[in-house]
Structure 1
Amino acid sequence: MTVDHLRRAPGFSAQPGFCAQGGREWFAYYGLDWGAFVRDGIDADTLEATGDALGLHLVAFARAEAARG
């Protein structure tokens, strides 16, 4: 999972993706390192472990994209 996935995933509005500010807040809420995510990405299992709808949505988007090649 990368910040690119966050920016391109279908959102819950007319615009695709999610904003960086909201992403930073979400990562902070779950005690995840935003800077490391931006630099290196994050394992999908870590996002899934939050059980949060946003994390699950991003993982599903990334996996569907990978399956399409």
Structure 2
Amino acid sequence: MSLIVRREDLIAAQQCSSGARSFFKRHGLDWSDFLKNGIDAEILLKINDVMANQVIEQARQRYGRE
């Protein structure tokens, strides 16, 4: 089962939506699709960004994966 990062994980990591939108645009990711469906953590892991990794960690905690 893949780990899906959702908007709630962004909020839990205390990151703002405008910064996240800029991040998605900069990396050619679909912000609207993220809001509706989330994004596979593997996509964000490949970018290797500190803030993205913080959001992934929140998703892991939500799913109970440490």
The reply to whether TM is greater than 0.5 is yes
Structure 2 unaligned runs (5+)?
none
Q: Which structure is higher in RCO with an 8 Å CA cutoff and minimum separation 6?
A: 2
After TM superposition, give the deviation of residue 57 of structure 1 in Å. 1.3
The one-letter code sitting in structure 2 at the alignment partner of 1:61 is: Q
Q: How does 1:1-69 map to 2 (within 5 A)?
A: 1-9=5-13, 17-67=14-64
* Matched-pair identity in %: 33
For 1:14, the equivalent position in structure 2 comes to none
Structure 1 unaligned runs (5+)?
10-16
- Could you say which structure has the larger radius of gyration? 1
**Length-normalised TM-score, structure 1:** 0.79
**Length-normalised TM-score, structure 2:** 0.82
CA RMSD of aligned residues (A): 1.3
